[in-house]
Structure 1
Amino acid sequence: MPSSNRRTLLGAAAVGASGLVSFEHIAEAAQEAAANDHGKPGEGGFGRQAVQLPAGAKVAYHDPKDVAAMPDFRFSLDGNVPKITSGGWAKEATVHQFPISKGIAGVHMFLNPGASRELHWHAIAAEWAFVISGRCQTMVLEPSGASEINNYMPGDLWYFQKGHGHSIQTIGNEPCHFILSFDNGAFSEHGTFSITDWMDVTPKDMLAKEFGVPRDIFDAFPKGETYIQAGPVIPVSDAMDAPWPRESTHKFRLLQDRRAVRDFEGGQFYLATIEEFPASKTMSGGIMVMKPGEMRKLHWNVNANEWHYYLKGKGQVAMFGSGGRGKVAEFSPGDVAYIPMGFGHAIRNTGTEDLEMVQTWDNPLFEEIDLDRWIAASPRYLLQNNFAGVSPDNIGKLKQG
């Protein structure tokens, strides 16, 4: 994607001594359950009153009686009920809990030291991840038989294709937090194909034949899915690292790779598309930091849905859905937002500290158009026609803005 087509923003970065975003606060922010009452479903919307059309008149795309209807696009991921097992927990936001999110599902996962998210695969979705805090290791196997083992730190990304077998395990003495995003809103992390579940329901004589061992050794295997299994701590020094044997590694060091940095006046955005992260074949993603009072300008996504997880600060998103429909929602740490492809929107920092959010798109090379650039590229006489009643001087100010 050309740099001129990248996400533009106005804001300020929280930059550490190394020149990279500091994540010391993230673990605390991620643990805050978003228990605030954000209003009843449907509140916060705005829309023009429907106008009764003459008999036989037709309006494309929208029923004029429904112009004020706008779906909720905020969901409290960290306020959702977790799935808890011996080694940690996971909270999810799928289309079943968050109906607007048809294209992308998300998960906040926590692994205790020594715990592992067991070997598993996803039948209907690829997985994109951002590490918030702690360290972990992943293992992935593709159909060709090639495999990779990688170690991760805060700010790193991974991506696994749909159907590829993989696992996640904490390394070191600290727990590990990460955000997962999937390119299918119907995908549930609680319904994956897990190795313990599979082996438990498979006849022991088949397992014995598969591995060439006596059937009775499977008597001691777990009964049912372990999901996130507790275990002894793996020291970082003992965690083997076996990188992919070619360039398309499943690991990307988002906060360390200068190719991902987008410097803007007062802010930074770290973005990995397929150009920077070739393994990420169906998704793009990164982290945006915005200064108090600043705004990501009005724009729309041409070829992708957009998903946010709020790490720090307070934000506001205004969304436009055509047909006179619009809605504004407030966001705090632990909340997620979903912007359908083509819907106009803007993001503003309404708090007193930097706003930080993880963002993903379900396209490896997403495209967008900014409102101010659209106006600047349009002839004055066209704008004068579209905005009938606005003075030429004010039209000129819009074009120069």
Structure 2
Amino acid sequence: MASYTGLLAACLAATLISTSAAAPASMPTTQAAGPPGATGQLYGPETLEGPGGEPVDTADSAIVSHYDLVPGQQEEADIGLYLDLSAVRSPQPIRGTNGGTDPGPQNLMYEKANPDLYARPGTDAGDVRNAKWPMGLSTNRPGLNGAGFARQQNTDELPAATAMAGVDMRLSPHAYRELHWHSAGEWSYILNGSVRVGAMDDLGQTTYDDLTTGDVWFFPAGMPHSIQALGEGAEFLLVFDDGSFSEDATALVSELFLRTPKQVLAKDLKTDISAFDNIPQDELYIFPGTPAPANLSAQNITGPGGAIPKNQAYTYHFSDQQPYVVPGGSVKIVDPTTFPVSTISVALVTIEPGAMREIHWHPTSDEWNFFIAGNARITIFQAPQASQTFDYAEGDVGYISATESHYIENTGDVPVVLLECLRAPKFTDISVAQWLSLTPPQVVKDTIHLSDQVIANIPKYKQYIIPGNTNYTTTNFTVNGNATPS
């Protein structure tokens, strides 16, 4: 199969670039021409890399202050009562002291229909393989004492998604994602709130940064790092560059200490074994913490190796990048062109009501996409003769294999916002309309029997997004009966 829907994740893309304005320093200079009236740039400047040195904007809080719980939801998680979420306006993944509030995006239909996956009984553990999973919903792993939760999508839920996997993680105010490292590279986009992240590389160089809604980080496989929510909490999407990656296989420092002889720990840390009398007897995973100092410099620890250079930074202030605005929406891209440490290329795409992301395909990479807002549909064509149309809502995931053509059409009355991710060194896509317009008209006419006027009307630039209207029964999109400027 070529595509599926699921609850989590993100990614789709294009070589979306404009020549209409002067490029910032170190910005890609080879750019596809965009439509008339387009403004801005697809890429941001190198100054967005690394620690910004200023306090993050905390206006976009991840705190959910008003919500309703159903009968049984406050009972101990191990009791495992059935939770009827059907009548709740905005259900929350809470059982007793497990889990935490969900600021969204939320696919309410799936959550209400699958309460035992959305708010797991405390007796559930891990993932049961080869079970039939409800389409669009992944398991919800709770943190300790209301500190948050995580839910993932990998090849267990979407077998076709071999190139990338995703985790939606929520941290309550001041909560930690325990010190850890992964077997796969971790790219992240902050959906709500703000966090403080830190990491160390193999040279003993360190980095610490405060990030807020819309910002990005990337930590390569094996790099140890820390994540703590600031005062308004946080929710973020994690995209891993391995479709079989499982959050349950994360290497945790608490488990490292539990699985290593205390005598060895004492020798390594130059202390007595009594120092380890109070270490946790189980993994912490997600747990409450004390507030981080307001001033980042108080935790900006460096050793003989110094700090990781800014041009090799593992954080990127994507929220400060202005979008490339075209008729019908906008696009902005962060990929290894401007964020060199990453193995993931991502476009943040906004599609206005009635508009659509033009028909295209990606030549070298599968696409993993995550819907942040709105409703949309995608039809995927898989050679030689298969095609299928899927409907998406916020919180859903789509997966499209390399070279398979597709579009994304907004089918609602609010903007669609999605992340389009490729595991690639650069965003690339092929526009079907542009390809036809740059093919000799005789060839197009002989092949698919279009009229001369229709062929002349196809623009020679990349459209990225095509405007429309919210009358979804419209069938005539001729522009004043005249050829569109090329």
Q: TM-score range by the shorter chain?
A: 0.7 to 0.9
Aligned equivalents of 1:371 and 1:332: distance in 2? 26
Match of 1:380 among 441, 457, 469: 441
Match of 1:142 among 201, 217, 221: 201
Q: Deviations along 1:319-360, whole A, 9 cap, x unmatched?
A: 111111111111111101111111101001000011111222
Aligned equivalents of 1:103 and 1:115: distance in 2? 30
Task: Give the deviation of 1:24 after TM superposition.
Answer: 7.5
- Match of 1:222? 280
Aligned partner letter, 1:195: V
Within-5 A mapping of 1:64-143? 76=136, 79-86=137-144, 87-123=147-183, 125-143=184-202
Aligned partner letter, 2:188: A
Within-5 A mapping of 1:327-366? 327-366=388-427
- Match of 1:245? 309
The structure where strand makes up a greater share of residues is 1
Aligned equivalents of 1:240 and 1:334: distance in 2? 36
Task: Give the deviation of 1:363 after TM superposition.
Answer: 0.9
- Match of 2:319? 255
Aligned equivalents of 1:224 and 1:24: distance in 2? 31
Task: Give the deviation of 1:237 after TM superposition.
Answer: 4.0
Q: Deviations along 1:282-320, whole A, 9 cap, x unmatched?
A: 111142111100000000001222111111111111111
CA separation of 1:37 and 1:395: change in aligned 2, threshold 3 A:
farther
Aligned equivalents of 1:158 and 1:198: distance in 2? 25
Q: Deviations along 1:184-215, whole A, 9 cap, x unmatched?
A: 10111121111111111111111111101111
Establish whether residue 279 from structure 1 lines up as the match of residue 354 from structure 2. Answer: no
Within-5 A mapping of 1:288-299? 288-299=349-360
Establish whether residue 178 from structure 1 lines up as the match of residue 236 from structure 2. Answer: yes
Q: Residue 247 of structure 1 aligns to a residue in which SS?
A: helix
Aligned equivalents of 2:16 and 2:110: distance in 1? 41
Task: Give the deviation of 1:23 after TM superposition.
Answer: 6.2
Task: Give the deviation of 1:29 after TM superposition.
Answer: 3.6
Aligned equivalents of 2:33 and 2:313: distance in 1? 25
Conserved in 2, the CA contact under 8 Å of 1:302 and 1:366?
A: no
Task: Give the deviation of 1:116 after TM superposition.
Answer: 0.7
Task: Give the deviation of 1:32 after TM superposition.
Answer: 4.7
Task: Give the deviation of 1:102 after TM superposition.
Answer: 0.7
CA separation of 1:384 and 1:266: change in aligned 2, threshold 3 A:
closer
Task: Give the deviation of 1:396 after TM superposition.
Answer: 3.9
CA separation of 1:28 and 1:210: change in aligned 2, threshold 3 A:
closer
- Match of 2:122? none
Aligned partner letter, 1:108: D
Aligned equivalents of 1:75 and 1:307: distance in 2? 16
Conserved in 2, the CA contact under 8 Å of 1:129 and 1:157?
A: yes
Q: Deviations along 1:215-243, whole A, 9 cap, x unmatched?
A: 12212101122111212233534674646
CA separation of 1:112 and 1:2: change in aligned 2, threshold 3 A:
closer
CA separation of 1:88 and 1:300: change in aligned 2, threshold 3 A:
same
Aligned equivalents of 2:377 and 2:324: distance in 1? 22
Task: Give the deviation of 1:88 after TM superposition.
Answer: 1.5
Q: Deviations along 1:160-199, whole A, 9 cap, x unmatched?
A: 1111111211122x22100111111011112111111111
- Match of 1:199? 257
Aligned equivalents of 2:292 and 2:33: distance in 1? 39
Aligned partner letter, 1:368: D
TM-score, normalisation: structure 1:
0.80
Task: Give the deviation of 1:361 after TM superposition.
Answer: 1.2
Conserved in 2, the CA contact under 8 Å of 1:171 and 1:235?
A: no
CA separation of 1:385 and 1:341: change in aligned 2, threshold 3 A:
same
CA separation of 1:203 and 1:37: change in aligned 2, threshold 3 A:
closer
CA separation of 1:28 and 1:138: change in aligned 2, threshold 3 A:
closer
Aligned equivalents of 1:134 and 1:7: distance in 2? 35
Aligned equivalents of 2:378 and 2:252: distance in 1? 37
Unaligned runs of 5+ in 2: 1-14, 19-30, 40-58, 64-101, 114-133, 301-306, 460-482
Aligned equivalents of 1:347 and 1:264: distance in 2? 16
Establish whether residue 315 from structure 1 lines up as the match of residue 376 from structure 2. Answer: yes
Aligned equivalents of 1:287 and 1:246: distance in 2? 23
Q: Residue 257 of structure 2 aligns to a residue in which SS?
A: helix
Conserved in 2, the CA contact under 8 Å of 1:115 and 1:170?
A: yes
Aligned equivalents of 1:377 and 1:246: distance in 2? 41
Q: Residue 221 of structure 1 aligns to a residue in which SS?
A: coil
Aligned equivalents of 2:32 and 2:277: distance in 1? 55
Aligned equivalents of 1:225 and 1:7: distance in 2? 52
CA separation of 1:6 and 1:229: change in aligned 2, threshold 3 A:
farther
Aligned partner letter, 2:318: L
Q: Residue 255 of structure 1 aligns to a residue in which SS?
A: helix
Q: Residue 361 of structure 2 aligns to a residue in which SS?
A: strand
Conserved in 2, the CA contact under 8 Å of 1:267 and 1:289?
A: yes
Conserved in 2, the CA contact under 8 Å of 1:130 and 1:158?
A: yes
Match of 2:330 among 253, 268, 287: 268
- The percentage of aligned residue pairs carrying the same residue is 27
Q: Residue 135 of structure 1 aligns to a residue in which SS?
A: strand
Q: Residue 256 of structure 2 aligns to a residue in which SS?
A: helix
